[in-house]
């Protein structure tokens, strides 16, 4: 532990001296990885303590380190479980930058003076993060708006950091012991795409409008309107929403709004996003969700979104119902189908491990199956065996674990699988499209590899369809 602390002090000093933050971060993580794997005793005794220490050091080193840490906190295939848990708790919250800089950027981007665009403009930011900060204002036409402005010199800083990080990743991949369980270049590409998408506020506005269109027939969901005349890639002007955080139970109850109903609505919106739309909000923490005074659920901050192909949606439905149906062999096959195994791995070598790991959870009643604990157990398997986390699952896992955390806060009796089950059935049965119908017909007929029909499964699915239709018609 003292060795690791000395390394970090050297990293902090070097960062101040040379300004090369990401180089030292990456070197620190590589050395920590070697140090952690040095002995079984270290793995068993020290990992949790080291993970907390690492999280604290990343916070001290600033917002760029926090972003990298958040990204690595989703990589169960790269880091041991205690590190995944600790880094997943990192919050993107930094002090605001000067108003003069923010106002100058707004005026440069919009080509007008602040008072020519906005009738009123509050001087204190309502929120600040590593990429930008938000002000409350009012347009000359009377609408109350939120104005999000990007931090200065962000593009140059990110570009320099990524160039340095690419050299480090290329260097690390020369050594098998550093590359055994990590795709450094792939992780860098993923982070590069994510950070640049978040930096483009015009893209965020388009994401919000796509989300708004998806939920246009949902009276209980609201997405802020984008004011394109006052929006660029570095300044975003959108409708200002008044509301209560989904986790503020006292205030919600005081307004006569049921937190449990809000949570069920949130789960249903996410199943629609994942299983029907193939386009989802990838960062559903409580700061990005508000309950409006009339009970509508409002979504914010669409800089981080995920996309899911119809093929992946079908595989996810399989996995969900294998968990609900307590089928460990089916779950093991799902992990193979979902590309959780590294290329060249013999599925038969890991299938028994996965089946044994899931047996504990599947012997519980459905209401006692905890998604977060299930995910963490899977993370342990991924780290110790030849598994990897597919890039298209990083956002999905992060979003679902965040949703379960919100659910437990709003309702102590909350269970993700029990809450999601009826809605998952509904979306599975409502799903349209020729390709999906072919898949669904095959599944509902329950054909095995020999082409025979599993009439027992067919009858169960038929009853499920009837129940879903009857419940939907109420």
Same domain (yes/no): 122, 229: yes
Same domain (yes/no): 148, 73: no
In a domain, 14, yes or no: yes
In a domain, 423, yes or no: yes
What is the SS3 assignment for 209?
helix
Joined together, the tokens standing for residue 194 give 């994510």
Same domain (yes/no): 122, 86: no
In a domain, 6, yes or no: yes
CA distances from 117 to 83, 102, 111, 152, 405 (A): 46, 14, 10, 21, 40
Distance CA 60, CA 450 (A): 60
In a domain, 440, yes or no: no
In order along its 474 residues, the chain shows pLDDT tens digits of: 444 444 444 344 334 333 445 545 554 554 455 444 444 545 555 778 888 888 887 777 666 677 777 777 766 556 777 887 788 777 666 788 999 999 999 999 999 999 999 999 999 999 988 889 999 999 999 999 999 999 988 888 788 778 877 887 787 777 765 555 566 777 778 778 888 888 999 999 999 999 999 999 999 999 999 999 999 999 999 999 999 999 899 999 999 999 999 999 999 999 999 988 999 998 888 889 999 999 999 999 999 899 999 888 888 888 888 877 777 778 778 888 888 877 677 777 777 877 777 666 666 655 666 666 766 676 666 666 777 777 678 788 878 878 888 888 888 778 887 888 888 777 777 654 444 455 555 555 444 444 454 545 555 555 555 555 455 444
**Among 221, 240, 259, residue at a domain's last position:** 240
Full residue range of the structural domain in which residue 8 is found:
2-92
In a domain, 279, yes or no: no
Same domain (yes/no): 81, 12: yes
Same domain (yes/no): 137, 220: yes
- Please indicate whether residue 283 is annotated as part of the active site: yes
**Among 240, 263, 280, residue at a domain's last position:** 240
Specify the DSSP class assigned to residue 274.
I
Same domain (yes/no): 60, 170: no
In a domain, 266, yes or no: no
Judge contact between 445 and 399, C-beta under 8 A. no
Same domain (yes/no): 396, 375: yes
Same domain (yes/no): 200, 150: yes
Q: Which residues contact 438 (CB under 8 A, 6 or more apart)?
A: none
- The Cβ of residue 77 has, within 10 Å, a number of other Cβ atoms equal to 21
**Among 182, 207, 240, residue at a domain's last position:** 240
| N residues, the chain | 474
| Number of folded domains that form the chain | 3
**Tokens 């012991």 belong to which residue?**
177
Catalytic residue among 77, 161, 283, 318: 283
Distance CA 305, CA 282 (A): 5
């Amino acid at each position: 532990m003292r060795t690791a602390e000395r390394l970090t002090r050297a990293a902090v000093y070097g960062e101040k001296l040379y300004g090369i933050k990401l180089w030292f971060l990456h070197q620190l993580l590589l050395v920590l990885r070697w140090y952690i794997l040095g002995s079984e005793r270290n793995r068993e005794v020290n990992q949790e303590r080291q993970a907390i220490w690492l999280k604290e050091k990343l916070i001290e080193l600033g917002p760029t380190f926090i972003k990298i840490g958040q990204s690595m906190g989703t990589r169960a295939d790269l880091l041991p479980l205690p590190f995944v848990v600790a880094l997943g708790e990192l919050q993107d919250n930094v002090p605001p930058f000067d108003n003069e800089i923010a106002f100058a950027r707004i005026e440069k981007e919009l080509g007008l003076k602040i008072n020519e665009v906005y009738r009123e403009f509050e001087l204190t930011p309502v929120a600040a993060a590593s990429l930008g900060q938000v002000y409350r204002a009012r347009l000359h036409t009377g609408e109350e708006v939120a104005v999000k402005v990007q931090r200065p010199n962000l593009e140059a800083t990110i570009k320099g950091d990524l160039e340095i990080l690419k050299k480090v990743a290329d260097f690390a991949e020369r050594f098998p012991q550093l590359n055994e369980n990590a795709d450094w270049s792939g992780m860098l590409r993923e982070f590069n795409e994510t950070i640049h998408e978040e930096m483009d506020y015009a893209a965020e506005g388009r994401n919000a409008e796509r989300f708004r269109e998806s939920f246009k027939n949902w009276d209980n969901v609201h997405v802020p309107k984008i004011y394109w005349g006052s929006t660029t890639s570095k300044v975003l002007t959108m409708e200002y929403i008044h509301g209560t955080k989904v986790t503020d139970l006292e205030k919600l109850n005081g307004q006569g709004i049921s937190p449990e109903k809000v949570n069920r609505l949130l789960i249903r919106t996410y199943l629609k996003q994942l299983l029907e739309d193939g386009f989802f909000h990838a960062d559903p923490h409580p700061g990005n969700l508000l309950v409006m005074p009339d009970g509508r659920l409002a979504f914010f901050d669409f800089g981080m979104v995920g996309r899911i192909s119809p093929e992946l949606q079908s595989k996810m439905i399989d996995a969900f119902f294998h968990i609900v149906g307590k089928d460990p062999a089916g779950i093991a096959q799902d992990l193979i189908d979902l590309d959780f195994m590294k290329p060249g791995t013999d599925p038969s070598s890991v299938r028994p491990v996965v089946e044994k790991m899931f047996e504990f959870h599947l012997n519980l009643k459905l209401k006692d199956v905890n998604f977060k604990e299930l995910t963490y157990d899977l993370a342990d398997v991924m780290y110790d065996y030849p598994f990897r986390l597919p890039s298209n699952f990083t956002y999905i896992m992060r979003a679902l674990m965040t949703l379960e955390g919100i659910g437990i806060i709003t309702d102590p009796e909350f269970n993700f699988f029990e809450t999601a089950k009826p809605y998952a059935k509904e979306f599975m049965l409502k799903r349209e499209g020729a390709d999906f119908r072919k898949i669904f017909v095959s599944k509902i007929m329950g054909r095995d590899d020999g082409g025979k029909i599993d009439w027992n499964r067919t009858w169960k699915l038929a009853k499920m369809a009837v129940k879903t239709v009857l419940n939907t018609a109420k």
